[in-house]
Amino acid sequence: MSPRKLFHALSKAAVRDYRRREKELLEKGLLGAFAGSSGYILVIVLLVISLLVAISSEFIITAQTNVRYIGKFSESLRARTIARAGVNLAVALLEADKKGAASGLLSGVSTNTNVDSYQDIWAIDLPPLPIEGGHLKISIADENSKININALANEVVDKSPYYTVAQRFFLNMGLSMDLADTLIDWVDIDDSRFPYGAESSDYYLAQRRPYRAKNAAMDSIQEMLMIKGFTPEIYYGLGGGNHGRESGIVEDNRGARVVNPDAVSGPGSGRALDSRRTDPAESSAPIGRERSRRLGEYFRVTGERSDYLSEMNKININTASYRVLSALTDEMTDDRVTELIRRRRSRPFESIDEVADIVTDETVRRNLLTVRSFIFRLAVTGRVNKTEVTMIALYNRQNRVFYYMSEQ
């Protein structure tokens, strides 16, 4: 047979076979057509295996996700429990300091109950404490080292001395003194605008999303972001004014601090913290304006609004920052502020009269300054493996009340 005839015959056979299979598929369906073939069982097995593999894979992925979620939730719950316990421990440290019992926990700390300074137990930079399968980190900051915004004005006075302190603070930061006017217009009780301030009718109601001036005490320091002139850049200290052009910048002016206490007592151990050790370099550390320009580190909203002369509002000269001390009076030059910080590093002030040669204005000393602290900010972090939960609280040690508590 010639190649041509052979090709023609094979083509006709292929067409007949195709038409036969087409007819069987139409009459019997896919499974029926395969029923009589040797590959029928193999096809069914492959389909079943494919289905089982898909179901198993989905189950394994879901199971692994749930296991990780449960583990993360468990760690978060344990970290939260540790953080809450840490808040109680921080309060206990403050109470021990208040009662002069801090030396029973750590030798070498100040036991003077009439003075609060960076030599007190609450101010110690404790290392993370092992607790319940995790770690606990406690940090306590003195709110009485800051300027109380709510004391700028109240229901009795249109303007308190803290207003001029705020003016000088912004001026020293290279910012506009007008910010003090917008602050006082926000917390005073009327709609009368200060010369360079802002009230509802002339500013806030004219915004794209209008709102009213508070005209009452601020509830949170973050409210500053709602006030005219306080941009996020200024509020968070990222720019504005003389940012980046200041000289003599330091991290802080706390002075000598505790480093690595040799041992920390565990639950039920009955052991006190070992004798504190101080970093020699800290006592001779340079003094200057703090690096941070974040306004929340220099202003607060806690205190006594009804009486601006209240001790709760006063600024503790033993803990106040360089920036706040510089704003007390026009006489607070760099040399005077540096001398004040140098003296308190050597020995905390026990009376405001000890700084009479530096802060010469007796009215300012009597009405605005103190050597005691009443309100503290607690930052407590509980950590389990890589999961952290931080509790932030504002605590009044005098009245034993929390102004605020949140979880981060």
Mean pLDDT of the chain: 87
pLDDT-derived band at 264 (thresholds 50, 70, 90) equals: very low
Structure tokens that stand for 402 in this block: 């929390």
Please report whether residue 113 resides in a domain.
Answer: yes
If you average pLDDT over residues 362-386, what whole number do you get?
96
Structure confidence at residue 206 as a pLDDT band (50, 70, 90): very high
The candidate with the shortest Cα–Cα distance to 301, out of 222, 374, 237, is: 222
Report the C-alpha gap between 354 and 343 in whole angstroms.
Answer: 10
Closest to 116 (Cα-Cα) out of 134, 150, 135, 93: 93
What type of residue sits at position 37?
A: S
pLDDT band of 402, cuts 50, 70, 90: very high
Number of domains in the chain: 1
- Whether residue 8 is contained in a domain is answered as no
Q: Is residue 378 part of a domain?
A: yes
Q: Is 5 within the bounds of a domain?
A: no
Distance between CA atoms of 297 and 321, rounded to whole angstroms? 9
Domain that holds residue 144: 19-408
Write down the pLDDT at residue 275: 38
Query: Residue 3: inside a domain, yes or no?
Result: no
* More confident of the two residues 95 and 14: 95
21 — pLDDT class (breaks 50, 70, 90): low
Question: Is 10 part of a structural domain of the chain?
Answer: no
Least confident of 12-16, 351-355, 371-375: 12-16
pLDDT at residue 32 tops 90: no
> Does residue 1 lie in a domain region?
no
For residue 33, is pLDDT > 60?
no
List Cβ neighbours of 142 (8 Å cut-off, separation of 6 or more). 116, 123, 316, 319, 373, 375, 376, 377
Whether the predicted pLDDT of 4 surpasses 60: yes
Q: Mean pLDDT, to the nearest integer, of 59-87? A: 85
What does the pLDDT read at residue 274? 39
pLDDT band at 10 (very low <50, low <70, confident <90, very high): low
Residue 106: band (very low, low, confident or very high) from pLDDT cuts 50, 70, 90: confident
Query: Does residue 4 lie in a domain region?
Result: no
Q: What is the mean pLDDT of residues 293-298?
A: 98
